[in-house]
Amino acid sequence: MSSEEKRSWIYVVVSAGVAAVYFVIVLSKVPGADVARIAYVRPMLIAIGAGIGLGIVATIAAAIASPREAGRADERDRQIHRLGEYVGFYVMSIAAIVPLALAMAEAAHFWIANALYLAFVLAALASSIAKIVLYRRGF
């Protein structure tokens, strides 16, 4: 497994795990509550920071575990990365319609912010999963 494929796996696990924890914590407060009073900003910022931090730490750990492969990328890796980023871009472009529609409908900031965060998570997952599929099924 190349270092680029390992990074994709790390990104899937970290982004899915952090987002799942965030949504369980925040959305568990929604039933019977006024969403305008739910404190979501700090947990969202913590989730974003934790995702970035855990991704960096896990990538460094993977590089230390197999130093010969670290940072080594060939033309295939670059093309897979490019195609995966295209997939993430298109998913983000489509998913961003939801928070835009919520803003136009003057929904609560809570729903707009969480829809936008979910759009970013979906884009990251789609990009990484596309890269993994391209590595596994061939390019």
pLDDT in tens, 104-135: 999 999 999 999 999 999 999 999 999 999 99
Q: What is the rounded average pLDDT of the residues 37-63?
A: 94
Whether the Cβ atoms of residue 69 and residue 3 lie closer than 8 Å to each other: yes
pLDDT band, residue 1 (cuts 50/70/90): confident
Domain count, the chain: 1
Tell me which DSSP letter residue 23 carries: H
Task: Tally the residues of the chain.
Answer: 139
What was the pLDDT predicted at 63?
Answer: 86
Q: What mean pLDDT value characterizes the chain?
A: 92
Query: What pLDDT band is residue 67 in, cutting at 50, 70 and 90?
Result: confident
Residue 98 sits in which domain range? 3-137
pLDDT class of 70 with cuts at 50, 70, 90: low
Angstrom distance (rounded) from CA 128 to CA 59: 14
Q: Residue 96's pLDDT band (boundaries 50, 70, 90)? A: very high
